[in-house]
Amino acid sequence: MRRVFIATSNAGKLRDFAAAAAPHGIQVEGLPAFASLPAAVEDADTFEANARKKAEHYSRFAPGELVLADDSGLEVDALGGAPGVRSARYAPGISAAFGNSDDAANNARLLRELTEVPDDRRRARFVCVLAAARDGRTVADFRGAAEGRILHALRGSGGFGYDPLFLLPALGKTFAELSPDEKAAVSHRGQAFRRFLEWYEGNPSLRSG
């Protein structure tokens, strides 16, 4: 089975990517010794720029390997696109340190911000930009987006982050109510990864493993 390294400490992201990769005979692994590596600074104002910064930074610790990193987040129209690139640290007191997040606090703030917003103005989307880098240089990036609506209360026990609040109207389920395979088929992360896979299959010289 071919191997792709993902630069993340987020177990939920690794599960999402692994579910999308498995049907294609690709094994997703976290970057070795990731927790001990110097953290990339996520200080850009776009998903694309943050994903590239992370992929380039972490690929320097795996010479010759293709390393993927993503920047993902939630954009809520009624909040002018917030939380956006600050999705993982939307709640007060959460620092920008890589992997530092508090799902419960972030969800609580989002619900407070939308308290007076009616259903027809709660449109939102999850966005993922996945960057592929080798030896400190980005070679490609891929974008995916999933459109939905923010609920008034949490629903479902799966997923992570804002998944229990994000309803897919076509399915009548939140991301937290989907199985891993269902989520991979419709999620922003699954879309971005499938675009990566199309590119990866067409560029055998860049494959790892």
pLDDT digits (tens, 9 = 90+) for 101-147: 689 999 999 999 999 999 999 999 999 999 999 999 999 999 999 99
Q: Beta strands 26-30 and 2-6: pairing type?
A: parallel
Question: What's the CATH number where 33 sits?
Answer: 3.90.950.10
Are 18 and 193 in contact by the 8 Å Cβ rule? The answer is no
Average pLDDT over residues 9-36: 87
Catalytic residue among 71, 119, 135, 181: 71
| Alpha carbon distance 202, 67 (integer Å) | 17
DSSP code of 208? -
Our answer to whether residue 45 is catalytic in this structure is no
Q: How far is CA 171 from CA 142, 147, 148, 183, in A?
A: 25, 12, 10, 11
pTM here is 0.88
Are 132 and 67 in contact by the 8 Å Cβ rule? The answer is yes
Q: How many domains does the chain have?
A: 1
Q: Tens digit of pLDDT for each residue in 69-98?
A: 999 999 999 999 999 999 988 998 654 443
Domain that holds residue 179: 2-206
pLDDT of residue 17: 86
CA atoms within 13 A on the CB side of 78: 18
pLDDT of residue 208: 52
Q: Tens digit of pLDDT for each residue in 158-173?
A: 989 999 999 999 999 9
